[in-house]
Structure 1
Amino acid sequence: MAELVDAGLLDRVMDRVDQDGLALTGEGGFLPELVKAVLERGLQAELADHLGYEKGDPAGRGSPNSRNGASPKTLATEVGQVPLAVPRDRAGTFEPRLVPKGSRRAGGLDEMIISLYAGGMTVRDIQHHLARTLGTELSHETIANVTDAVLEEVKAWQSRPLEEIYPIVYLDALVVKVRDGHQVRNRSAHLAVGVDLDGVKHVLGIWVQAAEGAKFWAGVCAELRNRGIRDVLIVCCDGLSGLPEAIEATWPHTTVQTCTVHLIRAAMRFVAYGDRKKVAAALKSIYTAPTAETAQTELRAFAESEWGRKYPAAVATWENAWERFIPFLAFPPEVRKIIYTTNSIESLNYQLRKIIKNRGHFPSDDAVIKLLWLAIRDIEDKRARQRDQERGLPSSKRKAPGKLVEGGIVPGWKQALGALAVHYPDRLNTYL
Structure 2
Amino acid sequence: KSSIVLVLNEFMEKERDEYLHASAYERSSERRDYRNGYYERELLIGVGKIKLRVPRTREGDFSPSIFEKFSRVDQALTLSMLEMVVNGVSTRKVTNIVEQLCGEGVSKSFVSSLTEKLDPIVNKWATRPLNVQYFPYLYADAMYIKVREHSKVVSKAVYIMTAMNEKKKREVIGLKIDHVESFDAWQGFFQELKSRGLQSPKLVISDAHAGLKKAIEREFIGTSWQRCTVHFKRNIIKKLPKKGMKQVICDLRKIYQSASCEEARASKVEFISKYRVNQRIENALDLLEEGFEDTIQYLNEKHKYQLYISSTNSLERLNQEIRRRERVIRIFPNTQSAFRLIGALLMENENLQLNKRKS
Counterpart Cα distance in 2 of 1:104 and 1:216 = 48
Any unmatched runs of 5+ in structure 1? 1-38, 44-70, 75-85, 388-401, 409-432
User: Equivalents in 2 of 1:276, 1:136: separation in Å?
Assistant: 62
Aligned equivalent of 2:297: 327
Secondary structure (helix, strand or coil) at the match of 1:228 reads coil
Query: Which of the residues 253, 266, 269 maps onto 1:294?
Result: 266
Aligned residue runs from structure 1 range 16-415, under 5 A: 72=19, 88=33, 94-97=36-39, 98-100=54-56, 106=66, 114-120=81-87, 122-131=90-99, 135-163=103-131, 165-271=134-240, 277-289=246-258, 290=260, 291=262, 293-298=265-270, 300-301=272-273, 304=276, 306=278, 309-331=279-301, 333-381=303-351, 402=356
Q: Is the 8 A contact 1:113 1:147 kept in 2?
A: no
Distance 1:170 1:377 in 2: 17
| 3-state SS in 2 of match to 1:197 | coil
State how far apart, in whole Å, the 2-side matches of 1:149 and 1:103 are: 23
Distance 2:208 2:282 in 1: 20
Q: Which amino acid aligns with 1:72?
A: Y
- Classify the secondary structure of the residue corresponding to 2:104: coil
C-alpha spacing 1:115/1:294, structure 2 compared with 1 (3 Å): same
Q: Which letter does structure 1 place at the counterpart of 2:82?
A: S
The one-letter code sitting in structure 1 at the alignment partner of 2:85 is: A
Deviation at 1:226, TM superposition (A): 0.9
State whether residues 85 and 344 of structure 2, in contact with CA within 8 Å, keep that contact through their aligned partners in structure 1.
yes
Deviations 1:89-131 (A, max 9, x none): xxx5733533357999959899776522334472212224544
* 3-state SS of 2:201 partner: strand
Aligned length: 306
What displacement does 1:318 show?
2.9
Q: Which is higher, the Rg of structure 1 or of structure 2? A: 1
Instruction: Report which structure shows greater RCO (CA 8 Å, sep ≥6).
Output: 2
| Deviation at residue 227 of structure 1 after TM alignment | 0.8
Q: Distance in 2 between matches of 1:349 and 1:183?
A: 25
- Between the aligned partners of 1:187 and 1:233, the Cα distance in structure 2 is 30
Report the 3-state secondary structure (helix = DSSP H, G, I; strand = E; otherwise coil) of the residue aligned with 1:165: coil
Equivalent-residue separation in structure 2 for 1:192 and 1:100 (angstroms): 45
Whether the 8 Å contact between 1:177 and 1:361 is mirrored in structure 2 is yes
Secondary structure of 1:242's counterpart equals helix
Residues of 2 paired with 1:383 and 1:200: CA distance?
A: 10
* Aligned-residue offset at 1:195: 1.5
Which position in structure 2 is the counterpart of 1:414? none
1:141/1:87 CA distance change after superposition, 3 Å: closer
CA displacement at 1:254 relative to structure 2: 0.4
> Deviations 1:62-113 (Å, cap 9, x if unpaired)?
xxxxxxxxx8359xxxxxxxxxxx984xxx5733533357999959899776
Contact 2:203–2:225, Cα closer than 8 Å, also in 1? yes
Q: Name the TM-score, length of structure 2 as normaliser.
A: 0.71
Deviates more, 1:231-240 or 1:370-379: 370-379
Cα-to-partner distance string for 1:300-344 (whole Å, 9 max, x where unaligned): 2365154xx334443344344334224234345433222112222
1:50 alignment counterpart: none
Which stretch of structure 1 is more off in the superposition, 327-336 or 218-227? 327-336
Q: How much has 1:157 moved relative to structure 2? A: 1.5
In structure 2, the CA distance between the partners of 1:273 and 1:148, relative to structure 1 (3 Å rule), is farther
Contact (CA 8 Å) 1:169, 1:232: kept in 2 or not?
Answer: yes
Q: Does structure 1 retain, via aligned residues, the 8 Å contact 2:20–2:32?
A: no
Instruction: Name the Cα RMSD after superposition.
Output: 3.8
Q: Take 1:227 and 1:131, find their aligned partners in 2: how far apart are those partners?
A: 40
1:422 aligned residue: none
**How far apart are residue 167 of structure 1 and its match?**
0.9
CA distance in 2, matches of 1:188, 1:345: 15
Distance 2:330 2:234 in 1: 27
> What's the secondary structure of 1:166's corresponding residue?
coil
